[in-house]
Structure 1
Amino acid sequence: MFSAKRQSASEFTFEILISVLMLIICFITLYPIWYVLVNAFNDGEDAMRGGIYWVPRVFSLTSFRAVFRSDGIMTAMWITVAKTVIGVVVHVFFTAMVAYAFSRKELIGRKVYMLIGTITMFFGGGLIPYYLLIRDLHLLDNFLVYIIPAAFSFFDLIIFLSFFREIPAGLEEAARIDGANDFKIFYKVIIPVSMPVVATIALFHGVYQWNDYFTGMIYMNDMDLQPIQTFLYRVVAQSGSNQMLAAMPSGVSVSVTSQSLKLATMVVTTAPIVIVYPFLQKYFVKGFMIGSIKG
């Protein structure tokens, strides 16, 4: 009995330590986000005095009004929404179609294709050859640069492949008896029963498309085709906030500073994906668990 009590006391102490450690990690993770929010909703000139840590000292939405009055931010937002929606549809369709082909045992050279695809996951040609390829494909300053290069991912193919291999062969056999060809089986039988993995891959790629700033920064000189994350990069890392500030009417720019514009822009550009992500978090776990346990 004494041993059991001592064991339960040690387990209780361990759980307390783990809980405290997790609280510290959560605080370290969340406080920078909270700090940005607090300062973004604070008056710009007042925020320059410093000392704002937990709540806005002088609540103000002026910085957000200045952000939405910027000429480029709404265009950049629409470009991001368009490339995310179109990119997800194209990526899921092509990756699922290739994965379905790989799942067929009668595919000639399947092992060779898998080997080649696995190599591409770890080795690449580098930025300069890739840039030259994009240029030769006439994708520079072209909206399709967001769609075509990201239309396929071998990592996502592996996730699809693991799920397709668990689909009962009887479903396909029944469809073939009814006269369905491979393509009809794919989009009328395989895809409908694979919605969990489709949702997983759609979420993976949707988050990537929304957060991608590098493509717009390297391959897009046309400001009207740059996504919101590239717009944010220009505001934070370059002189974009000063240009936005100079373009504001005199009555608005009194309480707006370059720093407050940067923080407000960060909130506006990251808020949509941050709001959606918690509701879809379960699909990330499901995506990594697909194929690991067979029932």
Structure 2
Amino acid sequence: MFSLKRKTTGEALFDIANNLVMLCICFITLYPIWYVLINAFNDGNDAMLGGIYWWPRMFTLKNFDAVFASPGIMTAMGITVAKTVLGVLVHVFFTAMVAYALSRKGLIGGKLYILLGTITLFFNGGLIPTFLLNRDLHLLDNFLVYIIPVMFSFFDLIIFMTFFREIPEGLEEAARIDGANDWSIFLRVVLPVSMPVIATIALFHGVYQWNDYFAGIIYINNPDLQPIQTYLFRVVAQSSSNQMMVALQGSSVTKTVTSQSIKLATMVVTTLPIVFVYPFLQRYFVKGMMIGSIKG
């Protein structure tokens, strides 16, 4: 028989206070996103009057028509999708490959490699040496500048390595008896059973690639190679929305949109895709993080 323990008055009050605090934190976190969303769907001229807090007062899609009609945004979106997909594939494969090698016992110099990699978690060359290195590698105004410099992360390697060390050695031994070499074991045995940690790292790096605007500012001068986040940065920080308004002069959308409404609509367009992807990877993300934090 199980007995239900009644909460004391102090425990009940603590639960109520705790729930209220968490609700306040959720509201403070989510309301700015909601505010941007409702104003992006509101008439630009009407939004300038203020007073819009919970729902669009004059619902319209003209702001988004203006965003997608602006020159360069679809090219920037394509660059972002391409660098996110390719960047995730290269990063996950290369980092997993190195992590698998370092997780195996008997690797010559393995402890030295881990020590050198750990140092990189705390120190780096800085922006100017990194820029000069990428210049000497002919990566300026090159799409590969989004891929090659971040194809490996020692932090992600630690998560991979912790997971690989928990894989039963019997799986590898059975594969070797069947004549498999190291590459076959890695590709056909290790990677298929590592989907939770692969999804975790893919989510980490995918969010980074999607949100990264700094590389486009520092290394890219060609507007046809700038990602959507760099495009958004120029809209918000450099008043490119005014240029967009000029480019849209004469079209029907200019009567209902403003530079501010275009900025808000652009934020929504650049944010929603990665927000929609996250729920599908969340369960793998939580499982992979638990593996990296509890085991090992």
TM norm structure 1: 0.96
Instruction: Give the corresponding residue for 2:214.
Output: 214
Instruction: Give the corresponding residue for 1:24.
Output: 24
Instruction: Give the corresponding residue for 2:55.
Output: 55
The offset of 1:199, in angstroms, is: 1.2
The offset of 1:275, in angstroms, is: 1.7
The offset of 1:121, in angstroms, is: 0.8
* Paired AA for residue 16 in structure 2: I
* Paired AA for residue 263 in structure 2: K
Instruction: Give the corresponding residue for 1:79.
Output: 79
Q: Contact 1:101/1:107 (CA < 8 Å) preserved in 2?
A: yes
The offset of 1:291, in angstroms, is: 4.0
Q: Contact 1:245/1:253 (CA < 8 Å) preserved in 2?
A: yes
Instruction: Give the corresponding residue for 1:14.
Output: 14
| Runs of 4 or more above 6 Å deviation | none
Give the alignment of 1:85-104 within 5 angstroms: 85-104=85-104
Question: How many angstroms apart in 2 are the aligned matches of 1:5 and 1:283?
Answer: 35
Aligned residue pairs, count: 292
* Matching of residue 199 in structure 1 with residue 199 in structure 2: yes
Question: How many angstroms apart in 1 are the aligned matches of 2:125 and 2:167?
Answer: 36
Q: Contact 1:80/1:227 (CA < 8 Å) preserved in 2?
A: yes
The offset of 1:71, in angstroms, is: 1.4
TM norm structure 2: 0.95
Q: Contact 1:76/1:231 (CA < 8 Å) preserved in 2?
A: yes
* Paired AA for residue 152 in structure 1: F
Shift in alpha-carbon separation, 1:118–1:5, aligned structure 2, 3 A: closer
Question: How many angstroms apart in 1 are the aligned matches of 2:104 and 2:206?
Answer: 28
Instruction: Give the corresponding residue for 1:290.
Output: 291
Q: Contact 1:203/1:283 (CA < 8 Å) preserved in 2?
A: no
* Paired AA for residue 257 in structure 2: V
The offset of 1:152, in angstroms, is: 0.5
Instruction: Give the corresponding residue for 1:224.
Output: 224
Compare 121-130 and 278-287 and name the one that shifted more. Answer: 278-287
Instruction: Give the corresponding residue for 1:127.
Output: 127
SS of residue matched to 1:122:
coil
SS of residue matched to 1:179:
coil
Shift in alpha-carbon separation, 1:259–1:292, aligned structure 2, 3 A: closer
Compare 137-146 and 50-59 and name the one that shifted more. Answer: 50-59
Question: How many angstroms apart in 2 are the aligned matches of 1:40 and 1:291?
Answer: 40
Instruction: Give the corresponding residue for 1:263.
Output: 264
Q: Contact 1:141/1:221 (CA < 8 Å) preserved in 2?
A: yes
* Matching of residue 254 in structure 1 with residue 255 in structure 2: yes
Instruction: Give the corresponding residue for 1:158.
Output: 158
The offset of 1:7, in angstroms, is: 5.5
The offset of 1:5, in angstroms, is: 9.2
Question: How many angstroms apart in 2 are the aligned matches of 1:60 and 1:7?
Answer: 51
The offset of 1:292, in angstroms, is: 3.7
Instruction: Give the corresponding residue for 1:190.
Output: 190
* Paired AA for residue 198 in structure 1: I
* Paired AA for residue 240 in structure 1: S
Instruction: Give the corresponding residue for 2:110.
Output: 110
Compare 87-96 and 281-290 and name the one that shifted more. Answer: 281-290
Instruction: Give the corresponding residue for 1:34.
Output: 34
* Paired AA for residue 234 in structure 2: R
Question: How many angstroms apart in 2 are the aligned matches of 1:70 and 1:61?
Answer: 14
Instruction: Give the corresponding residue for 2:274.
Output: 273
* Paired AA for residue 85 in structure 1: V
Question: How many angstroms apart in 2 are the aligned matches of 1:292 and 1:57?
Answer: 47
SS of residue matched to 2:105:
coil
Q: Contact 1:242/1:258 (CA < 8 Å) preserved in 2?
A: yes
Question: How many angstroms apart in 2 are the aligned matches of 1:225 and 1:20?
Answer: 47
The offset of 1:294, in angstroms, is: 4.7
Question: How many angstroms apart in 1 are the aligned matches of 2:295 and 2:28?
Answer: 38
